[in-house]
């Protein structure tokens, strides 16, 4: 229910935009802003649901060869996100280790960390 209702709302808003093709983005900015808020809320809800599912399954650490490519993909994504927010994301990746860990949880942790860093760092921040 908590996922289907916001999806239905988003679908209705998007369909209404197509019914008025001559209106500008500015004229529809309220609907677009509300849709973005719904998407953000759904992301949080989805993350929480995934966390609950992982807790039920338990953490499954395994020996993993953690090479630079794992972090490079994450860093490059956040470099783009930072640029979109008028910020700079610099990184130097020198990781190459074998660790016992849950790779999915590490990726989630880094995603939360970098999301918050970009969100809460002002333009002059480091």
Q: pTM above the 0.75 mark?
A: no
pLDDT of residue 1: 58
One-character DSSP codes across 71-112: HHHHHHHHHHHHHHTT----------EEEEE-HHHHHHHHHH
pLDDT tens for 70-96 read 888 888 888 888 888 888 888 888 878
| pLDDT value, residue 125 | 65
Mean pLDDT, residues 113-118: 85
Structural contact between residues 89 and 82, judged by C-beta atoms closer than 8 angstroms: yes
pLDDT at 56: 65
Q: Could you say which DSSP state residue 65 is in? A: E
Structure tokens at 113: 């960390």
Residue ranges per structural domain of the chain: 4-57, 62-120
pLDDT in tens, 15-66: 888 888 888 888 888 888 888 888 888 888 888 888 777 776 667 788 988 8
Distance of CA 25 to the CA centre of its chain: 24
User: What confidence score (pLDDT) does residue 57 get?
Assistant: 67
Which pLDDT score is estimated for 63?
Answer: 92
């Amino acid at each position: 229910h908590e996922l289907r209702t916001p999806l239905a709302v988003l679908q209705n808003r998007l369909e209404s935009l197509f019914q008025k093709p001559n209106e500008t983005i500015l004229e529809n900015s309220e609907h677009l802003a509300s849709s973005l808020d719904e998407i953000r809320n759904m992301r949080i809800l989805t993350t929480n649901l995934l966390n609950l599912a992982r807790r039920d399954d338990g953490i499954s650490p395994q020996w993993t060869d953690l090479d630079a490519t794992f972090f490079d993909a994450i860093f490059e994504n956040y470099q783009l996100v930072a640029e979109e927010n008028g910020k700079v994301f610099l990184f130097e990746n020198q990781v190459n280790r074998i660790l016992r860990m849950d790779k999915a949880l590490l990726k989630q942790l880094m995603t939360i960390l970098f999301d918050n860093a970009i969100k809460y760092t002002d333009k002059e921040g480091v």
